[in-house]
Every structure is written in structure tokens, then in C-alpha cells.
Amino acid sequence: MVALFGLIVGFGLYNGASRVKAWEATLAAASRDQDERLEELRERSDQVDSGELAPGLYNHPRSPSYVGGVRGQRFAMAPPGPLAVMAIGQSDLHPQYYKINNRSSQSFLDDDEIENPINLLTGRFDLGFVIVYLFPLLILALSHDLISAEREQGTLAMVLSQSVRARALVVGKALARLGLAVALVVVPSIVGALAAGVDPLRADAAVRLPLWIGVVVAYAAFWFALAVAVNALGRSSATNAVILVGCWMVLVIVAPALLNIVVTALHPMPSRVELIQATREASTAASREGSNLLARFYEDHPDLAPAEIDLNPADFWIKVQASQESIDQSIAPVLARYDAQLAHQQAMVDRLGFLSPAIVAQEALNDLAGAGMARRKLFLEQVDAYHKEWRAFFVPRVMRREMLSRSDLDNLPTFTFREEDAGAVARRVGLALLGLGIPTAVVGVAGLWGFRRVRIAG
């Protein structure tokens, strides 16, 4: 059983490492793509200066609309998390890069990854999955007969006659098995992390690795405490096994599913069809208004009006840019409802998740690995800030009909992902450890209290 579980842990780590490798390869390909496109723009710009190239109206290498919205777009990319090899979480459901443009954020935020839907439905088999779902089964197999086996073999009376209390016997057996079970997870975790390139000397890794071990130990301690409490009932080993497996089903399978149903029912997400419909209606209205929309934009932003007196409302790029503000305003209420409902859902999960140790452990492991919602939210916030910076660079030039200079092509805004402060992660995981520690203490004390009287035989 121990050997089999070791193979399962290794397979989970292998899947995590494969996912990280594919993630890094995708980001490297995106970086090469943007570098090649920007180099092409610089070469064409030099050819325009030398007279070798006469660019068209819509593909001029120095047109701010063409560069900022078509050919010169840069990527905002989030690298794999500090311990991504250990837990994939929901990182495979969300894009890890966005191709930024000078239009509405919805033009790139709605992009999806191309992935096998079966993989997305079932999730990835990673170390986090092994710990949350399969690790308790190993623990229960090792601990369902802590004292019942001695009773059934007829050796319990002899053992207790050696001035050994039943509580000490149970605690000793539980701690010995706890050490074995934790070692089966912690040692491969550390080895796998180092093999995958995790630098333990980095500040974030130096904080996250010990916390990862702490979550594993706390989660294991809860299941051992539960096994001690069930053993204190004085039932047979088979009965203990059935009770413990039932507890596993309730806490690991049923409770998270029920929480998901409750959260979805109380805070349903707005329909995606509603967002698509609102975007289409706003785009149609913007196209229909045409010149009036452009004139209104210049009235609201006179500092962006071009130097020429006779404006040309039919200018394609300027009309497209002007329409974005109208579209953003039209779909803003739908997006606000979506963000609000998502925040309500996450807050409810944070409050009620403590009803199941599995949820607490899963959230903590994903957070430490960099595959949780906190890092995802941080990435989207940085993408939003970069998109605003990108638009601030290009939109004024578009509306004034100014061409980019050669130096502008060399100094386009760039994106650098900034990891969350390790202290914030430690505070969240600290609450998770508390959420695991309190029920462990309660169940453990109740179990030890049950050993005041021990049935020696039968």
C-alpha cells in the first residue's frame, strides 16, 4: 500500500511538472511571436523612412491604431506559480496570457484556452489532488484498527498489563503512522519541487515550502484524530473502516459539492449570453451613430482633437477608437454584476469552507502553489493596469492623428508580472492552518476522552 501510494505521489508530481513545462513553452512562444512582430514593424518603419516602402492606409508601421491594436500588440503573461509543480488547481481553466490592444478590455479578456473539455471537466491529476482526496484514504487504512486489531488478536490485555495506558498506546501508534504518512508526501514534494527548478533560497519559496509542509501535516493530523475518535467507540476494525470511509465521503465529496450548489443558488452568475448580447447591441449602436459619436467624443475630450480644423469623421481608425468608450459604458453594468457575484461567491466559500477540512486544505495548497483565486485576481488587476497604460500611450495619438516615431516603436509599454507579497499568502494560509487545527484538537480530545474506559476483549 505504501509503495502504491508512493507511485501515485510520483505520478501527481509528474503531471504537475508536465503542466508547468507546457505552460512555460506557451509563454516562450508568445514572447517570440511579439518580438518577431515588433521587429518586423521596426524594419518596415525604416523602409518607409528610406523610401523603399509605400505603406497602405490601414497597415502603416507607425500608425498608432495599427501598432496598438493589430500588429504591435504585446502580451501580458503570468508565469507559473512558485510551487506550480505541486498543484495545478484551476489554472488550466483560465488564460495565463492576454494579447493587449487599445480597444475595450472585453476584446481580449473573453479569449479562452484551447483545451480538451474532458480534461477541464475532470481536472488535472496533480499532487494537490492526491493530498486532498487520496491521502486521507491511506491514513484511514493505516489507522482504522489502531486498537481494535489488538483487541481482536487477544493481545490488548497483555499490552495494557505492562503499565501502558490505552491513551498512550493509541497516541504512540497514531504518531508513528502520522510520521510515515507525512513522509510519503513531504519528501517527494520537496524532491519534486527542487527537480522542477524551485529555488528554496528565494524569499517566496522559502515561505511557501514550509507552509506547504504545515498544511500537509495539519490535514493528516485531522484524519488521524478522527481515526482515534472512531477507535474510541470500541467497535470492530471492519466497523471502524466503514465509519471512517463514510466520514471521508461526507467531508471530501459531499460537503464540497453541497457548498458549490448553495453558493451557486444564492449568488448565481449573470448569463454569459447577456454579456454577449449587451456587447453586440452596444457595437451596433456605436456603428449606427457614426459621426455623431465621434463628434461627441471630441466634445468630451477636446485635448485629443487633431490640429486640423476640418475633422474627417469617416476616418476608420478614429471611429473605431471612439466607439470603444460607448461600448465600455454600455456593458459596464453587466460586468459590474459579474464581478460582484464572483466576489460574493468567493466570500461565501471562504466563510463556509471551514465546514470541510478538504476545502480548507485544497484552497491553502492552491494558494501556496500559485494556482488559487488570489493570484488570479492579482494577475487580472495587473492586466487592467497595463491595459490602461497601453491605451494611454496609443489613444491620444490615434485621436490626434499623430504617427509614432521610430523611438516610440522601441519604447512601447511592457508588462512584468509582480508576485504577491509572501506575507499576504502566509496570513491566508495561517487562517487555513487554524481552520484545520481547531477541529483536529476538538476531535482528538474527544477521542482521547473516549479511552477513559477500554473494552479489553470481544
Return the top range by mean pLDDT from 210-219, 259-268, 296-305: 210-219
- Listed in order, strand segments (DSSP E) in 362-414 are none
Q: What is the pLDDT of residues 145-199, one digit of tens each?
A: 888 777 777 777 677 777 777 788 888 889 999 999 999 889 888 887 788 777 7
Question: Using CA atoms, how far apart are residues 299 and 311, in angstroms rounded to an integer?
Answer: 13
378 — pLDDT class (breaks 50, 70, 90): very high
Identify the weakest region by mean pLDDT among 77-86, 184-193, 299-308, 436-445.
299-308
Q: What is the pLDDT of residues 330-375, one digit of tens each?
A: 667 777 777 788 788 888 887 888 889 999 999 999 999 988 888 9
Q: Does the structure show a pLDDT above 60 at 308?
A: no
Mean pLDDT of 120-149: 84
What does each C-alpha distance from 346 to 8, 120, 231, 352, 353 come to in angstroms?
A: 31, 20, 37, 10, 10
Q: Does the structure show a pLDDT above 90 at 247?
A: yes
Question: Using CA atoms, how far apart are residues 255 and 258, in angstroms rounded to an integer?
Answer: 5
Q: Does the structure show a pLDDT above 50 at 313?
A: no
Which DSSP string do the residues of 18-80 spell out, in sequence order? Answer: HHHHHHHHHHHHHHHHHHHHHHHHHHHHHHHHHTS----SS--TT-HHHIIIIIS--EEE-PP
CB atoms within 10 A of CB 189: 22
151-158 contacts at long range (C-beta below 8 A, 24 or more positions apart): 151/455, 151/456, 151/457, 151/458, 152/236, 152/237, 154/457, 156/454, 156/456, 156/457, 157/456, 157/457
Q: Is the Cβ–Cβ distance between 138 and 216 less than 8 Å?
A: no
Q: What is the pLDDT of residues 87-108, one digit of tens each?
A: 887 777 788 899 998 877 766 6
Q: Does the structure show a pLDDT above 90 at 327?
A: no
